[in-house]
Amino acid sequence: MDLMAILMSTKFYEGKDELIVDELLSTFVGGMKTVQSTTTNIICYMDKFPEIKKKLFDEILPPVEKVRDNILDGLKFETVTDFDYLQRCFYEVLRIEPVVPLPTG
């Protein structure tokens, strides 16, 4: 079940279409900003730690090079989900530099 179906089946949102749209847009924008911020931070960390950059490029470049003439049609979702090191770097950067920091203490 997706988020829209969950919201539409919840009594709180019954008859409140504008509130459902607001929730969906907030979730979309929040997720988009999280990806943008974390991707920017990964690039900064790659500059600071060239050994991490090399490992990332070693994982990403071979599949991308195979389809470089037509990357939009050639690079498949399944290929990208196999980028294990990239995923681990993404989650680690998100841990180190959270988009919404939690208060400490």
Q: 16 is written with which tokens? A: 């409140």
Query: Per-residue pLDDT tens for 40-94?
Result: 999 999 999 999 999 999 999 999 999 999 999 999 999 999 999 999 999 999 9
Domain ranges in the chain? Answer: 18-96
Question: What is the value of pTM for the model shown?
Answer: 0.70
Tokens read off for 31? 């997720």
Identify which of 78, 56, 60, 59 has the alpha carbon closest to the alpha carbon of residue 68: 60
How far is Cα 101 from Cα 104, in angstroms, rounded to an integer?
Answer: 9
Cα 48 to chain center, whole Å?
21
